[in-house]
Amino acid sequence: MSLIQPRTLKGFRDYLPSVMIPREQMMQTAREVFRSFGFAPIDTPVLEHLEILTGKGSDETDRQIYRFEDNGGRDVGMRFDLTVPLARFAAQHINTLGTPFKRYHIAPVWRGENPQAGRYREFVQCDFDTIGTESVLADIEAVAVINNLLATIGFDAFTISINNRVILSGLLEQLGLADKAVPVLRSLDKLGKIGREKTAAEMCRVAEIEASQADAVLALAECDGDAESVFAQLPEITGGNEKAAEGIDRLTQIYRGALASGVPSSRLRVDVSIARGLDYYTGVIFETTLDQLPGIGSVCSGGRYDNLAGLYTKQHLPGIGSSLGLDRLLAAMEELQLLPDASTPAPVFVAFFDRDFRDDYLQLASKLRTAGIGVEVYPDAKKLGVQLKYASQKGFAAAVIAGGNEWNENRCQVKTLASRESSEVSYTHENPTQLIESLQQIISTAK
| Residue number, 34 or 221, with CB nearest to a second copy | 34
| Residue number, 377 or 425, with CB nearest to a second copy | 377
- Helix segments in 371-422, DSSP class H: 384-394, 404-408
385-403 burial code (b ≥16 CB/10 A, e <16): eebbebbeebbbbbbbbbe
| Residue number, 138 or 218, with CB nearest to a second copy | 138
Residue 332 CB, shortest distance to a second copy, in Å, is 20
Residue 149 CB, shortest distance to a second copy, in Å, is 12
| Residue number, 183 or 318, with CB nearest to a second copy | 318
Residue 178 CB, shortest distance to a second copy, in Å, is 23
Residue 67 CB, shortest distance to a second copy, in Å, is 8
Q: How many Cβ atoms from other residues are within 10 Å of residue 34's Cβ?
A: 24
Q: How many Cβ atoms from other residues are within 10 Å of residue 349's Cβ?
A: 25
Residue 231 CA, chain-centre distance (Å), reads 30
Residue 372 CB, shortest distance to a second copy, in Å, is 8
Instruction: Return d(Cα 267, Cα 276) in angstroms, integer.
Output: 19
Q: Is there a cis peptide before residue 100, judged by omega within 30 degrees of 0?
A: yes
Residue 117 CB, shortest distance to a second copy, in Å, is 18
Residue 213 CB, shortest distance to a second copy, in Å, is 33
Instruction: Return d(Cα 303, Cα 142) in angstroms, integer.
Output: 9
Strand partners, 376: 349
| Sign of the alpha-carbon dihedral angle for 389, 395, 398, 402 | negative
Phi-psi region of 200 (alpha: psi -120 to 50; beta: other; left: phi over 0): alpha
Residue 194 CB, shortest distance to a second copy, in Å, is 34
Residue 25 CB, shortest distance to a second copy, in Å, is 10
| Residue number, 223 or 439, with CB nearest to a second copy | 439
| Residue number, 99 or 292, with CB nearest to a second copy | 99
Q: What is the DSSP secondary structure assignment for residue 8, as one 8-state letter? A: P
| Residue number, 311 or 331, with CB nearest to a second copy | 311
Instruction: Return d(Cα 166, Cα 134) in angstroms, integer.
Output: 14
- How far, in Å, are 40, 228, 368 from residue 53 at the CA level? 24, 43, 50
By the 8 A CB rule, do 186 and 208 touch?
Answer: no
Instruction: Return d(Cα 422, Cα 349) in angstroms, integer.
Output: 14
| Residue number, 110 or 213, with CB nearest to a second copy | 110
Residue 96 CB, shortest distance to a second copy, in Å, is 7
By the 8 A CB rule, do 239 and 174 touch?
Answer: yes
By the 8 A CB rule, do 424 and 362 touch?
Answer: no
- How far, in Å, are 55, 65, 115 from residue 59 at the CA level? 11, 10, 18
| Residue number, 71 or 337, with CB nearest to a second copy | 71
Instruction: Return d(Cα 41, Cα 127) in angstroms, integer.
Output: 10
Residue 91 CB, shortest distance to a second copy, in Å, is 4
Instruction: Return d(Cα 60, Cα 45) in angstroms, integer.
Output: 22
Instruction: Return d(Cα 139, Cα 132) in angstroms, integer.
Output: 12
| Residue number, 68 or 280, with CB nearest to a second copy | 68
| Residue number, 240 or 262, with CB nearest to a second copy | 262
What are the residues whose beta carbons fall under 8 Å from the beta carbon of 383, sequence distance 6 or more? none
